[in-house]
Amino acid sequence: MNRDAPVDDPASSELTVTREGNLALLKGDRYKKLIWSLNSTRPCDDAAAAAVLLDTGNLVLRCQEVGSSPAVIWQSFDHPTDTLLPGGWVGLNKSTDEYQALRSWRTATDPSTGLYVDRVDPYGSGQYVLLWNGTTVYHYIGAWNGKYFVSIPEMGIRGRYTFTYVNNDEEESYSFHVADPSAVSRMVMSPHGQLTLFVWCRESGQWLLHWATPTSPCNVYSLCGAFGLCDDVASSQYCRCLPGFEPAASPGDWSGGCARKTALRRGDGASSSSSPPDGFLPVHNVKLPSNYSSVADAGNPGDCASACLSNCSCTAYAYNDGCLVWRGDLRNVQQLPVGDAGASTLFLRVAVADLASGHGATAENLGAILGAASSIAVLVIICLLSLGRLRLGSPQSERSSDVALVAPLAAEGGDCEAGESLMDAVKELNVAENLLEGAHAAEYVAVRTEGHSWEGSTRRWRGRGWGGDSSWPCGG
């Protein structure tokens, strides 16, 4: 059909049966242009072909042969889009290996091919499953108990529906019927990835939802796209972007997910090498995505943050009795209620420019905050330098290598763990810790020269605002 190439002028469009016996979609007022056709050979030699819309909702092309029952050439029940009507079917034709499935709309207002589909599990579980993008199984409908799929107990309501599941040498298919012929029902693969059953209510003139699986939209894989956050706890809109990101497509279309507001320092190799290192924003009370990797030699949150920042493709980390890191797009991040036993904190890698917005700082006061931070930092440095000079001139200064100095964190590296006294002083500003750590406070570090070699050291601020290998192996 023309699902992904709709006509731009419905008023001049026409669905007709051609003289060759094909069902065709034409467009144009004076000269008709062919938009879509069955492309079949002439179905009837001595009889006219006719298209008939049956009471079941099935559009049938058939031969009207005299003295015999009409022969069906084509029917819409064999070509569903996102909707299954009573009497229709979905499943696998084992002789042709062709699959007939429900595939969602792209959005609620865009009927082009979407990302969600139902089918028999291609990986051999023998169950009906729901897939994202034709590859990722995100929901098992469950085993067939002879009357309904066990994960949908609402299917077992007596007297209203009859569900049929067939699995033999010829086909593996699923269909349903209604007990009351006057009842109007439809099964829909929704744009949000839920398989749903609706019933028409004559009294209210509305479609009423009978059941949906999975029951929570947030259990649908990638419902909010890459770097989207699904929240069915406090929001009726479900989807929003993670901190530091913004919608990548038009409103209501979450298939494209979210895009970064600011490029990472080493995210694409195009950012300036003189820009500050990336930082992390905590996202609390979330269900972590499943496609993580473990870092066995990261024994604390600081090491875990450093492991993430030393990898160009790492986008987030979490430390839950071990270091977990994510590379590439983050999908299926789900907001959970406060106190949920399965909730964790995800540390999302963002550019320094987005650390402020993640903690509520505005563009208007950002300059003032950074200016104040710089002034306090300079004062603290002067004090420490003065203290160092006093110690150098005192009788106790024979071991000059023990003197605490303050040095800029140069390109060759430095150790931020030694700078806690300076950072503590700067924190008296009472501004967001990540803002200071990621912006100005990271420019300086207290260095003790007592037997330490700083060459090749790791910049790490105890897993809070920033960290990583000072050699930056990502290039650019």
**pLDDT of 348 over the 90 cut:** yes
Q: Which residue has the higher pLDDT, 44 or 427?
A: 44
Q: Is residue 304 part of a domain?
A: yes
Domain tally, the chain: 4
Residues 458 and 391 in one domain: yes
* High-pLDDT (> 70) share of the chain, %: 69
CA atoms within 13 A on the CB side of 110: 16
Residues 144 and 200 in one domain: yes
CA distance 358 to 367: 16
Cross-strand bridge partners of residue 98:
93
**pLDDT of 172 over the 60 cut:** yes
* High-pLDDT (> 90) share of the chain, %: 36
Confidence of residue 463 (pLDDT cuts 50, 70, 90): very low
**pLDDT of 208 over the 50 cut:** yes
Rounded mean pLDDT of 99-115? 91
Residues 339 and 437 in one domain: no
**pLDDT of 422 over the 60 cut:** no
pLDDT of residue 114: 93
Q: Is residue 8 part of a domain?
A: yes
Residues 75 and 86 in one domain: no
Rounded mean pLDDT of 96-106? 91
Q: Is residue 357 part of a domain?
A: no
**pLDDT of 457 over the 60 cut:** no
Residues 209 and 100 in one domain: yes
**pLDDT of 283 over the 70 cut:** yes
Mean pLDDT value across the chain: 74
Confidence of residue 132 (pLDDT cuts 50, 70, 90): very high
Q: Is residue 274 part of a domain?
A: no
pLDDT of residue 441: 32
* Residue pLDDT, tens place only, 149-167: 888 888 877 668 888 888 8
Rounded mean pLDDT of 95-107? 90
Cross-strand bridge partners of residue 234:
none
Rounded mean pLDDT of 362-373? 37
Answer with the one of 293, 318, 350 that is the final residue of a domain. Answer: 350
CA distance 211 to 218: 16
Q: Which residue has the higher pLDDT, 343 or 424?
A: 343
Sequence-separated contacts (24+) of 36-40 with Cβ below 8 Å:
36/1, 36/2, 38/74, 40/73, 40/74
Residues 162 and 38 in one domain: no
pLDDT of residue 221: 92
Residues 338 and 395 in one domain: no
Return the number of other C-beta atoms located less than 10 Å from residue 347's C-beta. 21
* Residue pLDDT, tens place only, 299-334: 999 999 999 999 989 999 999 889 999 999 999 999
Q: Token pair for residue 380?
A: 């603290």
**pLDDT of 402 over the 60 cut:** no
**pLDDT of 460 over the 50 cut:** no
Confidence of residue 357 (pLDDT cuts 50, 70, 90): low
Look at residues 59, 56, 17, 58 and name the one whose alpha carbon lies nearest to residue 40.
17
Q: Is residue 41 part of a domain?
A: yes
Q: Is residue 66 part of a domain?
A: yes
Confidence of residue 279 (pLDDT cuts 50, 70, 90): very high
**pLDDT of 228 over the 50 cut:** yes
Q: Is residue 476 part of a domain?
A: no
Confidence of residue 290 (pLDDT cuts 50, 70, 90): confident
Residues 390 and 461 in one domain: yes
Owning domain of residue 95: 80-221
Query: What CATH number corresponds to the domain at position 149?
Result: 2.90.10.10
Rounded mean pLDDT of 427-442? 35
Answer with the one of 50, 79, 108 that is the final residue of a domain. Answer: 79
Q: Token pair for residue 260?
A: 């970064």
Rounded mean pLDDT of 233-260? 87
Rounded mean pLDDT of 173-180? 88
Q: 14-52 burial by CB neighbour count: b if 16+ within 10 A, else e? A: eeebeeebbbbbbbeeeeeeebbebeeeebbeebebeee
Q: Which amino acid is at 194?
A: Q
pLDDT of residue 334: 94
**pLDDT of 405 over the 60 cut:** no
**pLDDT of 31 over the 60 cut:** yes
Please state which of the ranges 57-66, 148-157, 168-177, 455-464 shows the lowest mean pLDDT. Answer: 455-464
**pLDDT of 200 over the 90 cut:** yes
Rounded mean pLDDT of 453-475? 33
Rounded mean pLDDT of 213-231? 93
Answer with the one of 15, 50, 79 that is the final residue of a domain. Answer: 79
Residues 233 and 338 in one domain: yes
Q: Is residue 475 part of a domain?
A: no
CA distance 348 to 264: 12
Return the number of other C-beta atoms located less than 10 Å from residue 313's C-beta. 12
Q: Which residue has the higher pLDDT, 67 or 441?
A: 67
Please state which of the ranges 170-174, 305-309, 445-449 shows the lowest mean pLDDT. Answer: 445-449
Residues 335 and 380 in one domain: no
**pLDDT of 353 over the 80 cut:** yes
Residues 120 and 100 in one domain: yes
Is the CB of residue 244 less than 8 Å from the CB of residue 260? yes
**Pairing mode, if any, of strands 344-350 and 333-335?**
unpaired
Confidence of residue 381 (pLDDT cuts 50, 70, 90): low
pLDDT of residue 433: 38
Residues 296 and 343 in one domain: yes
